[in-house]
Amino acid sequence: MKKEKQKAFGSSVAFGDINFPKHLTPKIIHSALFIHNADCKEETVKRVQHCVKEIGEQDMSYAMALLVLPTLMNNMQQTEEYKEWQQSRIKTLN
C-alpha cells in the first residue's frame, strides 16, 4: 500500500480567494493549534521544533505570538494604567 504525502499546513484554503495578513495565514493558525493541543510539555517542544522546520522562523514567531497573546492580555489588564483607563471608560459611558 502506497503512503500518501502529508499536505502542508493551511493548504486547504485557496490563498487567491482571501487576502490574509502575513501573521494570520492558515499555516500559522494551524501551527499554533497543533502546538496548543500537545498533551505534555515534551510533546509541545517536539511540535515547536517540527513547526520551525515546516514553516520557518518568521512564521513560527507569529504562531508563538498567538499562543502567548492571552497571557499578555491578562498581564496588561492587571496594570494600574489599564484599571484607570477602564474606570474612565465607565465614567464616560454613564
Is the whole model's pTM more than 0.95, yes or no?
no
> For residue range 7-46, what is the model confidence (pLDDT) as tens digits?
555 555 555 678 899 999 999 999 999 999 999 999 999 9
Domain count, the chain: 1
53 in a structural domain: yes
| 89, pLDDT greater than 60 | yes
Is 15 inside a domain boundary? no
Which residue segment(s) compose the domain that 76 sits in?
26-93
What is d(CA 51, CA 57) in angstroms, rounded to the nearest whole number? 9
3-state secondary structure at position 66: helix
